[in-house]
């Protein structure tokens, strides 16, 4: 991922991140949540094959402020499937963790085919 300038908007980073997620996980669904519906709910919901999903709260930088309830919902994602705050400075680490969690989930599935 290219290094973005200090004044990059969160929406710009989010757009590039969605493109990257779609390249990494062809056929995935990425849904932007509505901030007016549930205050603090993470920005992106990523749906992958096999019932795996992730909640990603996108920030323009590691210094960006958290809004009320964001940490609560990201932690719920961690408990239930996968959740993380993601920003340019930790993107590589979060995407590696996401891939690891997804691979573990896929390996744990039991085939119903007989």
Q: Where are the domains of the chain?
A: 10-108
Q: 2 falls in which pLDDT band (50, 70, 90)? A: very low
Distance between CA atoms of 83 and 42, rounded to whole angstroms? 9
Residue 57 to residue 64: CA distance in whole angstroms: 11
Mean pLDDT, residues 50-75 taken together: 95
10-108: what fold? Answer: Trna Endonuclease; Chain: A, domain 1 (3.40.1350)
> What is the arithmetic mean of pLDDT over 87-98?
98
């Amino acid at each position: 991922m290219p290094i973005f300038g200090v004044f990059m908007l969160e929406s710009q980073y989010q757009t590039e991140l969605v493109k990257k997620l779609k390249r990494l996980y062809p056929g995935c669904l990425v849904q932007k949540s509505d901030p007016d519906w549930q205050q603090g709910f993470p920005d992106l919901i990523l749906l992958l094959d096999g019932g795996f999903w992730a909640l990603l709260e996108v920030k323009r930088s590691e210094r960006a402020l958290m809004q009320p309830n964001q940490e609560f919902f990201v932690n719920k994602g961690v408990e239930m499937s996968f959740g993380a705050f993601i920003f340019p400075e930790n993107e590589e680490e979060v995407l590696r963790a996401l891939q690891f969690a997804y691979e573990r989930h896929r390996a744990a599935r039991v085939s119903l085919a007989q």
